[in-house]
A and B are shown apart, each in its own frame.
Chain A
Amino acid sequence: MTTRIVELRRGILKKNDELAAGLRTSYSAAGVLVLNLVSSPGTGKTAFLEITLRELKARGARVAALVGDLETDNDARRLAASGAPVRQINTHGICHLDAEMIGKHLDGWEGVALGALDYLFIENVGNLVCPSSYDLGEAIRVALLSVTEGEDKPLKYPTLFNSADAAVITKLDIAGPCGFDRELALHNINEIRPGIRIFETSAKTGAGMEEWLAYLAAERASRNA
């Protein structure tokens, strides 16, 4: 009997990373800006996406959304009211979306071609842990935090907030009754992801949406330049 060490040096999520790299290439060739929205359940991803889709459409942008949940197509039906093409991904128990699910749902999505889109939003499964490990080929990962959740959420879930490219604070309209400490929340986000762009929004009142939409347009323009 001889003992041998076999060096593998192989990424455990290599398959996902390779699929994500392929998606990223096709998004970029199509000139579509892809965003991956991540937060805990109940932060208001769907409400934020509803107003985002509606406002972008009103400005003439071509938008679509993929939405992940364990079960039901409730969110897809809500988002479809914006008039944008929306496709539900049911993960049936899996706690995150992966690149393979995205690829499968983009293929054969009737009436939707990447090349005919300006923006594609992916609403991830509500979870602040696992989605941080799975690259979906997105250009921008957006971490959302609502005023009801506690200002220390970024400190509790640093792996996700550190992997984000932009942060969105939601439900600003009820910040007062919730005793939301704005300065502390901004400080904590910055401790985990220094220099990140932060948007303070309310899907109810539309607060912060102008800045958010301007950011999207600028990001899209700079990437397609």
Chain B
Amino acid sequence: MHELSIIASIVDTVTESVAAYPGARVVEVRLRVGALASVIEDSLQFCYGIATDGTPLAGSKLVVKILPVVMHCEPCAADVELEGLQSFRCPRCGEPCSDLRQGRELEIEAIEIDEVEEAV
């Protein structure tokens, strides 16, 4: 349950980034969250509404893209996607995999902002 501190960190980063666009309004914040990141989307959304109040992110939408776990399977010489988190075995050949290639991400991918047109 550290979602609130995660949102607080997002608020800091986005506030810093939009400072370069005076008058801009944050419309959307897009996250990439790996399935192994120990973060629950519902909790993120719940905290987001509260923690963004009174910040440049107020009223914006949080879009969370969950990334499945991808392992590299040596026998198959391929990157394979796991269906769940109950077995770290290659879904093709059944061999155990420990070479993680995706799944721990926790990052802000991009933000969408509305800019005020400059007066001519």
Contacts and interface: CB of A to CB of B under 8 A. Distances in A.
Interface of A: 1-13, 15, 94-96, 129-130, 132-133, 155, 158-160, 162-163, 190-195
Contacts of B55: none
What size tier do the contact residues of chain B reach? 35 or more
A13 B85 contact: no
Contact of A5 (B39, B89, B98, B112): B112
A4 B115 contact: yes
A194 to B, nearest CB: 3
Main SS class of interface, A = mixed
B97 A194 contact: yes
B89 A133 contact: no
Nearest to A160: B38
A217 to B, nearest CB: 24
Q: Is the interface of B mostly helix, strand, loop or mixed?
A: mixed
27 contacts: A3-B27, A3-B112, A5-B110, A6-B21, A7-B110, A8-B108, A9-B108, A10-B108, A11-B106, A11-B107, A12-B13, A13-B9, A130-B2, A132-B36, A132-B38, A159-B38, A160-B38, A162-B88, A163-B36, A163-B104, A190-B96, A191-B86, A191-B87, A192-B86, A192-B88, A194-B88, A194-B89
B9 A3 contact: no
B25 to A, nearest CB: 9
A15 B9 contact: yes
Contact of A194 (B5, B39, B85, B98): B98
